[in-house]
């Protein structure tokens, strides 16, 4: 009763994270309103931290929760869904022990401080997913991906993608070139001589080319962008105090330090060869996510991303795990113009001056000039410090017109996912919505150009899906 009372005083979104999520088997979904579009055929996959407590001990950061995958499959006879935890070695060991055993992003392993560095970091497998022709990968940037069955979500162990070293990481934000089908990603090997590892895979996920360059210190690098023939990294001025981690004094999250005097480093690579084209430096900022990038007719590059003034966003995300946020640390959408041959920034503009996150473009337009950016944002006239995103929107980058889909009070959407119609030029926006009014989760489907109108369909899920991070779509054809 005490716990329930404490939760009730918090915002409604906190209820979705207050207890470990419950798996559910393959279940036929009920249509609450509207109809499933005839051209919507395929599977929506979503990943996110689903357990933030063990044995009465809370996780140290939202990023620490054990990953669980939701799969929603759309066929001619309706929609079904299944929800399962990724059965990582760490998850299984902690399930058996009913307590935390490992270090993670915001946690240190239990036991003597000087011995904590000898224990492995748990692969939470909780950030994103990559759908390949024969398997699904659960992604987490601190280690290798986990392989799952596309239909049942049965975990089949880690996946080395042909030749990924088991000690190397494979980030959560891979990019798929819609023209070639090639998949690009990266990983960080931390240490005294930190390495940025680049990977190029074919459409099956098999790594066909690798490259490595040295970095100064250990940065916090979460995402990158594919812009035409280039891969571009913005390395923010954040460095890990490695001695703090090795001594067991602080977690990784607590040991990252904001060093604005370093500026933001820009690395440009040729996508085909993974060779370094240029290094540049510009003003200090931080970013988690990119929307897209593209090459202009004059050879310059434009990169769209959500920009933060500093690393306070990390503290805010840490507070999400507690169910109560107090830190004001929002980002807004920016476009940077740069010369890829020198890495020099030639201009920067704010595309949207409202707090937002999780920006995406249609998959067929990744790396190309895409007019529309879809993202999550706040509702109008709410306390942005205490609330999480309660709407999704579409920004027209040409007219700057913003179309908002407001889910209503105490409803919280996940990152929007753009889905092409299999039989027409239409597109759909799918999001999983947590409804704090009824403590339930639903799948909402919008016309991609109709976010100001009600969803064309709402589907009831059999259990609560905690607020999470990223997803993907795998078409049936």
By the 8 A CB rule, do 373 and 359 touch? yes
Cα angle value 78/83/85 (rounded, 5°):
160
The token pair that represents 336 in the structure block: 């940077």
Q: State the CATH number of the domain containing residue 190.
A: 2.130.10
pLDDT of residue 244: 85
Q: Which pLDDT score, from 0 to 100, does residue 3 have?
A: 37
The pLDDT of residue 2? 36
User: What is residue 306's predicted lDDT score, i.e. its pLDDT?
Assistant: 98
Report the alpha-carbon distance of residue 422 to residue 409 in Å, rounded.
33
Q: Give dist(CA 85, CA 97) in Å, integer.
A: 17
What is d(CA 393, CA 232) in angstroms, rounded to the nearest whole number?
A: 26
Number of domains in the chain: 1
Query: Which ranges of the chain have pLDDT less than 70?
Result: 1-9, 111-118
Would you state the torsion angle of the CA atoms of residues 357, 8, 326, 125, taken in this order, to the nearest 10 degrees? -50
Cα gap 434→16, rounded to integer Å: 7
3-state secondary structure at position 138: strand
Taking 3-state DSSP, the helix, strand and coil percentages for the chain, each rounded to the nearest 5, stand at 10, 45, 45
Q: DSSP alpha helices (H): ranges in 205-311?
A: 242-246, 252-255
Q: What are the angstrom distances between the C-alpha of 378 and each of 192, 329, 375, 391?
A: 41, 13, 10, 6
* Whole-angstrom distance, CA of residue 451 vs CA of residue 467: 21
Q: Rounded to the nearest 5 degrees, what angle is found at the Cα of 151, between the Cα atoms of 146 and 157?
A: 20
Which residue do the tokens 């005839």 mark?
38
- What's the Cα-to-Cα distance from 283 to each of 235, 320, 330, 335, rounded to whole Å? 11, 29, 18, 14
- Tokens of residue 6, six digits: 């404490």
Q: Is 416 helix (H, G, I), strand (E, B) or coil?
A: coil
In the chain, the N- to C-terminal Cα span, in Å, equals 50
CA 130 to CA 69: how far, in whole Å?
12
CB atoms under 10 Å from CB of 213, counted, come to 16
- Output the pTM of the full model: 0.95
Residues 317 and 323: their CA atoms lie apart, in Å, by: 10
In this structure, what are the phi and psi dihedrals at residue 116, rounded to the nearest 5 degrees? -65, -35
The answer for residues whose C-beta is within 8 angstroms of residue 118's C-beta and 6 or more apart is: none
Q: What are the start-end ranges of the H helices in 197-311?
A: 242-246, 252-255
Q: In the Cβ-directed half-sphere of 78, how many Cα atoms lie within 13 Å?
A: 12
Q: Is residue 402 within 8 Å of residue 394, measured between CB atoms? A: yes
Task: Give the model's pLDDT for residue 254.
Answer: 94
Predicted local confidence at residue 165, as pLDDT: 85
**Whether 324 contacts 310, CB under 8 Å:** no
Buried b / exposed e across 155-177, counting CB within 10 Å, b at 16+? beebbbbeebeeebbbbbbbbbb
pLDDT at 222: 97
pLDDT for 108 equals 83
Residue ranges with strand state E in 387-470: 391-396, 402-406, 411-413, 417-420, 427-435, 440-447, 457-460
3-state secondary structure of 374: strand
Question: Strands (DSSP E) along 162-312, which ranges?
Answer: 175-176, 183-189, 194-201, 207-215, 225-227, 230-235, 238-240, 256-258, 264-270, 276-282, 290-295, 301-307
| Pairing of β 427-435 and β 417-420 | antiparallel
Give the range of the structural domain holding residue 312, as residue numbers without chain letter.
2-475
Q: Which two tokens stand for residue 302?
A: 């434009």
Residue with tokens 């393959």: 26
Residue 19, beta-bridge partner list: none
């Amino acid at each position: 009763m005490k716990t329930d009372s404490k939760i009730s005083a918090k915002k409604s979104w906190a209820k979705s994270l207050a207890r470990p999520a419950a798996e559910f088997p393959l279940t036929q979904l009920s249509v609450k309103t509207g109809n499933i579009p005839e051209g919507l055929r395929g599977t929506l996959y979503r990943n996110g931290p689903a357990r933030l407590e063990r044995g009465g001990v809370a996780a140290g950061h939202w990023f620490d929760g054990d990953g669980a995958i939701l799969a929603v499959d759309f066929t001619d006879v309706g929609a079904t869904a299944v929800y399962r935890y990724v059965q990582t070695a760490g998850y299984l060991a902690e399930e058996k022990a009913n307590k935390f055993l490992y270090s993670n992003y915001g946690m240190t392993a239990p036991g003597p401080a000087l011995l904590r560095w000898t224990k492995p970091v748990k692969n939470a497998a909780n950030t994103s997913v990559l759908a390949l022709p024969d398997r699904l990968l659960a992604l987490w940037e601190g280690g290798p991906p986990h392989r799952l069955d596309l239909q049942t979500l049965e975990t089949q162990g880690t996946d080395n993608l042909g030749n990924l070293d088991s000690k190397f990481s494979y980030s959560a934000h891979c990019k798929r070139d819609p023209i070639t089908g090639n998949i690009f990603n990266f990983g960080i090997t931390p240490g005294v001589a930190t390495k940025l590892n680049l990977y190029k895979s074919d459409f099956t996920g098999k790594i066909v080319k690798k490259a490595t360059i040295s970095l100064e210190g250990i940065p916090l690098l979460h995402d990158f962008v594919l812009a035409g023939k280039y891969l571009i990294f913005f390395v923010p001025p954040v460095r890990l105090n490695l001695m703090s981690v090795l001594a067991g004094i602080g977690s990784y999250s607590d040991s990252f330090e904001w060093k604005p005097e370093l500026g933001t480093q820009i690395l440009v690579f040729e996508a085909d060869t993974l060779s370094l084209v240029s290094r540049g430096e510009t003003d200090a900022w931080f970013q988690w996510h990119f929307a897209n990038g593209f090459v202009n007719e004059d050879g310059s590059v434009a990169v769209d991303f959500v920009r933060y003034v500093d690393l306070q966003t990390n503290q805010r995300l840490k507070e999400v795990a507690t169910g109560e946020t107090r830190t004001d640390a929002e980002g807004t959408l920016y476009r940077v113009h740069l010369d890829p041959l020198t890495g020099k920034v030639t201009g920067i503009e704010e595309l949207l001056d409202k707090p937002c996150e999780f920006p995406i473009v249609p998959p067929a337009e990744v790396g190309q000039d895409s007019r529309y950016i879809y993202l999550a944002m706040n509702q109008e006239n709410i306390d942005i410090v205490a609330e999480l995103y309660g709407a999704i929107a579409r920004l027209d980058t040409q007219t700057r017109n913003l179309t908002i889909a407001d889910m209503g009070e105490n409803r919280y959407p996940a990152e929007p996912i753009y889905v092409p119609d299999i039989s027409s030029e239409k597109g759909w926006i799918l999001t999983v919505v947590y409804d704090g009014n009824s403590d339930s989760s639903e799948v909402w489907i919008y016309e991609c150009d109709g976010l100001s109108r009600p969803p064309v369909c709402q589907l009831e899920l059999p259990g609560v899906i905690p607020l999470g991070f990223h997803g993907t779509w795998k078409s049936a054809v």
